[in-house]
């Protein structure tokens, strides 16, 4: 499972014991997050394509040919890129609100895909992502209520400089026809109180992926954590389907 832009592999920590009962569970950080933890920018040219190939290389290093792969937010975008580039290595695919704005553009919703690009680009111009900027981002993506401040998060603070690349994530473009190669069973997950844009993205992916099921859980962008038992149950059913059980 690939983590988000703040937590990296730690964002899947709550799931490790539960999913580890049935499978070898491996959580990984995006390259962007790993370098942010070191206070360094990622190697250029950085983008979703580079992240997908880094994931493939990590699996190679572990001797894993085919896997149940998934990710949350940025991690979902990376997992999907890996699946499109290496469909034969994917047993099943789990996407928790991936930030694949290009799916909106493919569905003809260009305005929804680009509405907040100016906000995202502003982070790229910051010399330092400070506490106010971090709080503004949390509110923007619907993790906390407008006007509130996020709870202190050491992990998010450690990785905050990754936000300088947020615009590259949401402006990444792709060819929607590549989704046709992903024939493995796919679970697309969203929260019932998530942002409209993320509902539209998950709707589009559920329609465009050949073998996808859409799962709506209670809560927001973090529904796979807030409703962890429901999420784990759905993943187990997906894995059983993929393995013919």
Q: Is residue 34 part of a domain?
A: yes
φ/ψ of 165, rounded to 5, equals -110, 10
Residue-number span of the structural domain to which 220 is assigned: 9-111+182-242
Are the C-beta atoms of 78 and 55 separated by less than 8 Å? Answer: yes
Phi, psi of 156 (to 5 degrees): -65, -40
**Cα distance from N-terminal residue to C-terminal residue, the chain:** 22
pTM for the whole structure: 0.94
Cβ–Cβ < 8 Å for 166, 120: yes
Where on the phi/psi map is residue 73: left (φ > 0), alpha (ψ -120 to 50), or beta?
left
Residue 201 lies in a domain: yes
Tell me how many domains the chain contains: 1
Residue 55 falls inside a structural domain: yes
3-state secondary structure of 108: coil
70 burial level (CB within 10 Å; 0-12, 13-18, 19+): buried
Instruction: List per-residue pLDDT tens for the chain, 245 residues long.
Output: 999 998 899 999 999 999 999 999 999 999 999 999 998 999 999 999 999 999 999 999 999 999 999 999 999 999 999 999 999 999 999 999 999 999 999 999 999 999 899 999 999 999 889 888 988 898 888 776 545 455 545 677 788 899 999 999 999 999 999 999 999 999 999 999 999 999 999 999 999 999 999 999 999 999 999 999 999 999 999 999 999 96
């Amino acid at each position: 499972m690939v983590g988000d832009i703040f937590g990296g592999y730690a964002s899947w920590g709550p799931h490790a014991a539960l999913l580890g009962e049935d499978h070898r569970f491996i959580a990984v950080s995006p390259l962007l997050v790993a370098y942010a933890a070191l206070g360094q920018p990622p190697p250029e040219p950085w983008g979703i394509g580079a992240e997908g190939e880094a994931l493939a290389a990590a699996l190679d290093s572990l001797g894993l040919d085919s896997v149940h792969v998934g990710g949350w937010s940025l991690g979902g975008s990376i997992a999907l890129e890996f699946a499109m580039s290496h469909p034969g290595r994917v047993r099943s695919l789990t996407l928790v609100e991936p930030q694949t704005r290009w799916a909106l553009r493919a569905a003809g919703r260009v305005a929804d895909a680009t509405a907040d690009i100016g906000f995202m680009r502003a982070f790229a111009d910051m010399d330092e992502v400070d506490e106010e900027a971090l709080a503004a981002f949390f509110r923007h993506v619907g993790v906390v209520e407008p006007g509130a401040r996020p709870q202190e998060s050491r992990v998010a603070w450690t990785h905050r400089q990754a936000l300088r690349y947020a615009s590259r994530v949401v402006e990444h473009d792709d060819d929607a026809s590549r989704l046709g190669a992903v024939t493995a069973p796919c679970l697309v997950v969203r929260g019932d109180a998530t942002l409209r844009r993320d509902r539209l993205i998950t709707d589009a992916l559920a329609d465009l992926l050949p073998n996808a099921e859409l799962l709506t859980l209670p809560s927001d962008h973090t529904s796979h954590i807030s409703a962890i038992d429901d999420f784990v149950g759905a993943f187990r059913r997906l894995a059983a389907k993929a393995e013919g059980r």
